[in-house]
């Protein structure tokens, strides 16, 4: 096994400032005597390939320098290797040095939005746990979820955010602007939602959000009761309703009370199945903000866990 951290820097995160910012942090790593190897991504999906190769080469501590998309790729590479090799995910510790524009995953672990403040956590090896969550698509492909997933409205907001980022638009309001745009161009999908073998919803809905963590979209809380290590995913379904009523409920996304709204269905489960009921409802599915497939999809908490850097763990010491 390789001692130290394998660091994967997303050169496109944080308006392409990742490398220059991270290079300033390398001195702090050296002063603390933290061993590491740095790899830089060259294209979308490269972080996943780098993480898989690092895991296969014996690295067990991996740090993504970037945002939610970066940890999604690194987690995917590690868990793909675990699935191929039979390695226990509990051997691995993952972390994020946040420099990307989307930093929701770190909120569940109390990680400050400052890459420099992550370094003491690396030195102290302050870790918590996170459930392994797998998504299976009809084409046989598998994906892994670090923070959250969704379809319908939820996925189209992410799709618009990604298009805006690719066009060079980055700001703290990018998610809110995408949210408002999408809500006025919303289209219902007809689906059946099953949780742990029980039908929880069947009919027209606007959105389905699934969470291992409670935060999404720059601090919104679609599943405010979600905990990353409790063995469940939390689910929010938004059935079709009058647009004017839905708009009135938007503040609940930021106050953490959306699960109390009479316009949504909230529950938790270990196995979730979302099936389209007509040809027009094979909607896109986002995972950690990335569009990864289309309905139908199954979501499974498989009972395993991996280690993650956590300021919450350090505070309890």
Percent residues over pLDDT 90 in the chain: 67
The CATH code of the domain at 5-125 is 3.40.50.10330
- H-only helix segments in the chain: 13-16, 18-31, 46-56, 68-85, 115-124, 153-166, 174-183, 243-249, 251-255, 311-316
Q: For residue 175, count CB atoms less than 10 angstroms from its CB and return exposed for 0-12, middle for 13-18, buried for 19 or more.
A: buried
Give the Cβ contact number of residue 307 at 10 Å.
Answer: 20
Q: List pLDDT tens digits, range 194-203.
A: 999 999 999 9
List pLDDT tens digits, range 125-170.
899 999 999 999 999 999 999 999 999 988 998 898 888 776 666 6
Give mean pLDDT, residues 24-32: 84
Q: Please give the Cα distance from 111 to 309 (Å, whole number).
A: 8
> How far is it, in rounded angstroms, from Cα 84 to Cα 61?
19
In which band, very low, low, confident or very high, does the pLDDT at 94 lie, cut at 50, 70 and 90? very high
User: 70: which 2 tokens?
Assistant: 């970066």
Contacts of 82 (CB under 8 A, 6+ apart): 55, 88, 89, 92
Lowest mean pLDDT segment, chosen from 76-90, 94-108, 137-151: 94-108
SS3 content of the chain, % helix, strand, coil (to 5): 35, 35, 30
- Using 50, 70 and 90 to split pLDDT, how confident is the model at 17? low
Tell me what the mean pLDDT of segment 18-30 comes to: 76
Identify the pLDDT of residue 12. Answer: 65
What is the structure's pLDDT at 28?
84
> In the predicted model, is pLDDT for residue 14 greater than 70?
no
For strand 142-145 and strand 5-9, is the pairing parallel, antiparallel, or unpaired?
unpaired
d(CA 45, CA 47): 6
According to DSSP, residue 119 is labeled H
pLDDT of 163 reads 81
Q: What pLDDT does 100 receive?
A: 65
Is the pTM of the predicted complex or chain greater than 0.75?
Answer: yes
Q: How many C-alpha atoms does 55 have within 13 Å on its Cβ side?
A: 28
Q: What is the pLDDT of residues 234-279, one digit of tens each?
A: 999 999 999 889 889 989 999 999 999 999 999 999 999 999 999 9
Distances (CA, A) of 280 to 136, 191, 204: 20, 10, 12
Q: Rounded mean pLDDT of 16-21? A: 62
Alpha-carbon distance of 101 to 166, in angstroms, equals 12
Mind listing the pLDDT tens digit for each residue in 45-74?
999 999 999 999 999 999 999 889 999 999
What gap in Å lies between CA 261 and CA 240, rounded to an integer? 14
pLDDT number for residue 317 = 47
Span 114-128, pLDDT tens digits: 888 899 999 888 999
Average pLDDT taken over every residue of the chain: 90
Helix axes 18-31, 115-124, angle to 10 degrees: 30
> Inter-axis angle of helices 153-166 and 174-183, to 10 degrees?
130
261 DSSP 8-state letter: -
Domain boundaries, the chain: 5-125, 142-303
Query: How would you classify the pairing of strands 198-211 and 189-195?
Result: antiparallel
- Cβ(147)–Cβ(211) under 8 Å? yes
Q: Report the first-to-last Cα separation within the chain, whole angstroms.
A: 28
Q: Domain 142-303's class?
A: mainly beta
């Amino acid at each position: 096994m390789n001692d130290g951290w394998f660091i994967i820097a997303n050169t496109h995160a944080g308006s392409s400032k990742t490398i220059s910012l991270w290079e300033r942090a390398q001195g702090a790593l050296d002063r603390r005597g933290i061993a590491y190897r740095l790899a830089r991504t060259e294209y979308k999906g490269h972080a996943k390939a780098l993480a898989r190769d690092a895991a296969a080469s014996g690295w067990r501590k991996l740090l993504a320098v970037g945002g939610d998309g970066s940890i999604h790729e690194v987690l995917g590479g590690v868990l793909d290797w675990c699935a191929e090799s039979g390695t226990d995910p509990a051997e691995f510790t993952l972390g994020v040095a946040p420099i990307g524009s989307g930093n929701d995953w770190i909120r569940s672990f109390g990680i400050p939005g400052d890459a420099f403040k992550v370094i003491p956590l690396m030195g102290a090896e302050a870790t918590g746990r996170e459930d392994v969550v797998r998504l299976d698509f009809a084409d046989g492909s598998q994906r892994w979820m670090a923070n959250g997933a969704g379809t319908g409205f939820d996925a189209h907001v992410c799709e618009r955010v990604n298009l805006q980022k690719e066009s060079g638009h980055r700001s703290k309001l990018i998610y809110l602007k995408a949210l408002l745009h999408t809500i006025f161009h919303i289209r219902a999908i007809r689906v059946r939602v099953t949780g742990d073998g029980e039908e929880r919803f069947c009919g027209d809905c606007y959105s389905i959000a699934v969470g291992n963590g409670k935060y999404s979209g720059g601090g919104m809380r679609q599943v405010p009761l979600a905990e990353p290590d409790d063995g469940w995913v939390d689910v929010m379904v938004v059935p079709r309703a009058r647009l004017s009523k839905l708009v009135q409920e938007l503040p609940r996304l930021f106050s953490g009370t959306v699960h109390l709204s009479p316009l949504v269905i909230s529950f938790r489960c270990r196995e979730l199945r979302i099936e389209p009921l007509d040809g027009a409802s094979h909607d896109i599915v986002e995972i950690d903000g990335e569009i990864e497939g289309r309905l139908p999809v199954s979501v499974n908490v498989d009972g395993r866990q991996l280690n993650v850097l956590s300021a919450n763990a350090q505070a309890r010491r």
